[in-house]
Structure 1
Amino acid sequence: MSKVKYIRVSSEEQNTGRQEVNAKEFSKIYIDKVSGSIKFIDRKEASKLLADIETGVVSEIHISSIDRLGRSIIDILTMVEFFNQKSIKLFVENIGMFSLIDNKPNPSFKMIISVLGNVAEMERSNMLERQRQGIELAKAKGSYSGRLYGSKISDADFLTKYKAVAKELKNGESLRRASKIGGCSLGTAQKIQRLLTSIN
């Protein structure tokens, strides 16, 4: 039975270093680079962790914060309940608390997790609302340059929009260098490279 750590960041270019500061304490670390909206059971590394739990090799899981398990309070509490049923001790580092004490659910843990989960959900909802209001305001001023919600830019238009990045990639520049020159994210540069590869 071993102590492991689960890490999730939203994208490939995000650094996991902050969550890996205590890596030497664990027998294994599972790292997913996916959106928090993807359910825990549908994530690649999380699925491996769940499989290891079923085979009985995991006894304790550490996460940096409770939102690593999911974006909604329901998803979070579902996973906490699953770990409890399997007698897996879940430790949330930013609150310094275990889900189980003497193999019994920690009532304080569940209460705090419920509050934190609800706050995180509310913050995200407020952020999306502020984003929507910002777009509406920019449209009213005639300064909104993004695409309408739900619409999709074509591959050709996408390459045209980032023609400087495409040019650098065609000239053999690295993804990181091309994204820096073109003023876009590494993820965008990767998409441009995939499109260029499919065209060729």
Structure 2
Amino acid sequence: MKARYIRISSSSQSILRQYQKKTPDEMVYVDVISGAIPFNERPAAQELIKAIEDGIIDYLSCEAVDRLGRSAYDIQSTINYLNDKSVNLKIENLGVESFVKGKINSIFKMITDVLANVAQMEREASKERQAQGIAIAVAQGKFKGRLKGSSIPESVVLGTYKNVVKELKLGGNSLRKVAAICGVSLATVQKVKRILDGQIEAK
């Protein structure tokens, strides 16, 4: 059976561009999550992986390589996993598939390896531009964010991220998984956990 994987980074973005190419015979899996989260830790991707493991899915379409991830290692690991499971992956903006006549397409691998590294470089460049922008804003006295050394009361943090607190107290999931479930950054989950651990130690 065929499937289509769609990822957007936030709910403010539209899935329409990726969804409009859907065909009637496809199952659709949609993640609203950062590309920095490993593929196998995303909620919809985990459902897709289960369907692959159950032998339901043997063909997967994805708009672009960076929908699979923003880390070269994660993208390549995901493609290798699909190859091992004999799932034919089509990257639509390239018009290429991972298998040709039942054999691994060497051209597909060469192209996706390059684009996986490009996706990672773009993410790192974006983070660098953001840091530079903040530094300039601070120098100009325009930065409105929280400056280093300032702090938010722990009660406010816990009250703001009640869903994170709930997931951490339930246990059983990695911090990355909690971040994916709650739609927050890993750093936020780590901060909430530090506060909760501190409360336990204080008792």
TM-score normalized by the length of structure 1: 0.72
Deviations 1:148-197 (A, max 9, x none): 3797645769x9xxxxxxxxxxxxxxxxxxxxxxxxxxx9xxxxxxxxxx
Using the alignment, how far apart are the partners of 2:89 and 2:106 within structure 1? 13
| Count, aligned residues | 158
Using the alignment, how far apart are the partners of 2:117 and 2:79 within structure 1? 15
Two-structure CA RMSD over aligned residues (Å): 2.2
Aligned to 2:81: 82
Q: Does 1:24 align with 2:16?
A: no
Aligned to 1:137: 136
Q: Does 1:62 align with 2:64?
A: no
Q: Does 1:45 align with 2:54?
A: no
Q: Does 1:115 align with 2:114?
A: yes
Aligned to 2:192: none
Bigger Rg, which one: 1
Using the alignment, how far apart are the partners of 1:121 and 1:40 within structure 2? 14
Aligned to 1:167: none
Summarize the Cα distance change of 1:42–1:133 in structure 2 as closer, same or farther, 3 Å threshold: same
Q: Which runs of 5 or more structure 1 residues have no equivalent in the other structure?
A: 160-186, 188-200
Tell me by how many angstroms 1:123 deviates: 1.5
Where does structure 1 differ by over 3 angstroms across 4 or more consecutive aligned residues? 148-157
Tell me by how many angstroms 1:47 deviates: 0.6
Deviations 1:38-65 (A, max 9, x none): 1111111111111111111111000000
Deviations 1:97-155 (A, max 9, x none): 00111222111111111111111211221121111111111111212111237976457
Please list, as runs of the form range in 1=range in 2, the aligned pairs for 1:160-199 lying within 5 A after superposition: none
Q: Which runs of 5 or more structure 2 residues have no equivalent in the other structure?
A: 160-182, 184-203
Instruction: Tell me the secondary structure at the aligned position of residue 146 of structure 2.
Output: coil
Aligned to 1:170: none
Tell me by how many angstroms 1:25 deviates: 4.0
Instruction: Tell me the secondary structure at the aligned position of residue 147 of structure 2.
Output: coil
Summarize the Cα distance change of 1:123–1:27 in structure 2 as closer, same or farther, 3 Å threshold: closer
Summarize the Cα distance change of 1:150–1:47 in structure 2 as closer, same or farther, 3 Å threshold: farther
Instruction: Tell me the secondary structure at the aligned position of residue 61 of structure 1.
Output: strand
Instruction: Tell me the secondary structure at the aligned position of residue 7 of structure 2.
Output: strand
Using the alignment, how far apart are the partners of 1:57 and 1:89 within structure 2? 13
Using the alignment, how far apart are the partners of 2:21 and 2:35 within structure 1? 22
TM-score normalized by the length of structure 2: 0.71
